[in-house]
Chain A
């Protein structure tokens, strides 16, 4: 048996190789020597900065959902669509599976993600574990791959280009809110939230 305490160890998720944890400094990325997967990366964002970004993302998310995304014009008639308008349209057109997929990946999962990250960080700022820490961290793990806002932004661009051939197209505030949201998601993509397990103490708040 190893003499190193277990919390000083980390295991590569992609090949099961065991490493001793090292302290990373700015810009460092720890890579697995066997399979080259990223083990851990240092991120310069403090928990306060991350909390600020999550709040920004929430504000943007509200904007992205209340404003129309695009408006089409044809012979003086105008039609615009919001995210929920899109989800409802698919439901009414008997593509209920797609409607549910869109509602989950573009609305409910991102919402769950932002609210729980915000809640966890609010307490993690002072090194505490938020009420519901464990179930929330487990939920975040499973919800993680199922948010697709950035794909939706690209989809909106493609839809605009396709529609431009036949209609007048006006980009609405919703699309800009989505663009900002995509940037924020990209910033967050490099942050491994599982570090919160180590950054907070066992005792619940």
Chain B
């Protein structure tokens, strides 16, 4: 056993919700040993106890793939229409960033580009990498992978930025024939992408990163 014992080494289990440490009912030494498929609940908050989040790999993969499928129309379809007297202008996420860069402020364009393009791409890459490497049980770059997961959790929801920008402009720019802003389907797909990637990272269990074989420790 290494110097840093893990919950399963000591026959204890931590509650996902309230963090209470209790003796692991799934442990073979436990007096009322719970079998496979049994439901054990936390003595303090009543939430179901799991050693690992249930079906983490399959759920996380499913949500990530669904998010990616939404991400394609989110980028290809326009998210917003600006209509004025003699001009109709449809913007995609990327063209919105370009417009902000040329007409407004480059610094905000960088922020929007980060939130709308970099963050979702990073989430797909990072979560995909984490899922593959953890499933293979490799001990490659474990501390770095753990850090990447926390980064994704921290920044993930900032991608909603563009969705809120379109919503506000829709509410604000209502000058009848002179000028109108309407949301287009791309923004719905984008909102769904953000929600699905958030669920995907929540269902991934970071403990799986540390579960595989250990070659040196």
Residues on A lying within 8 angstroms of B by beta carbon are 1-2, 6-7, 9-11, 13-18, 33-37, 69-70, 72, 74-75, 77, 79-81, 85-90, 93-95, 97-99, 101-102, 105-106, 134, 137-138, 141, 145-146, 148, 151-152, 154-159, 161-167, 194, 197
Contact = CB atoms under 8 A, between A and B. Distances in A.
In the A-B complex, the 9 residue pairs with the smallest Cβ-Cβ separation, listed nearest first, are A155-B164, A11-B14, A81-B171, A89-B171, A86-B171, A35-B146, A95-B183, A159-B168, A9-B21
Interface string B120-161: 000000000000000000000011001101100100011011
B22 A6 contact: yes
A197 to B, nearest CB: 5
Given A74-B178, A158-B111, A163 B169 contact: yes
Contacts of A69: 168
A70 B183 contact: no
Given A93-B183, A105-B160, A7 B5 contact: no
Identify the interface centre among A6, A141, A157, A158: most chain B CB within 10 Å of its CB. A158
B183 A98 contact: yes
B167 interface: yes
A11 B7 CA distance: 7
B191 A101 contact: yes
B103 to A, nearest CB: 5
Given A79-B175, A102-B167, A162-B169, A151 B161 contact: yes
Given A15-B210, A86-B171, A97-B192, A148 B8 contact: no
B46 interface: yes
A166 B82 CA distance: 11
B100 A161 contact: yes
Contacts of A197: 18-20, 44-45
Interface in B55-102: 99-100
Contacts of B11: 1-2
Contact of A18 (B5, B108, B165, B182): B5
B202 interface: yes
A15 B198 contact: no
Contacts of A148: 157, 160, 164
Identify the interface centre among B29, B143, B178, B191: most chain A CB within 10 Å of its CB. B191
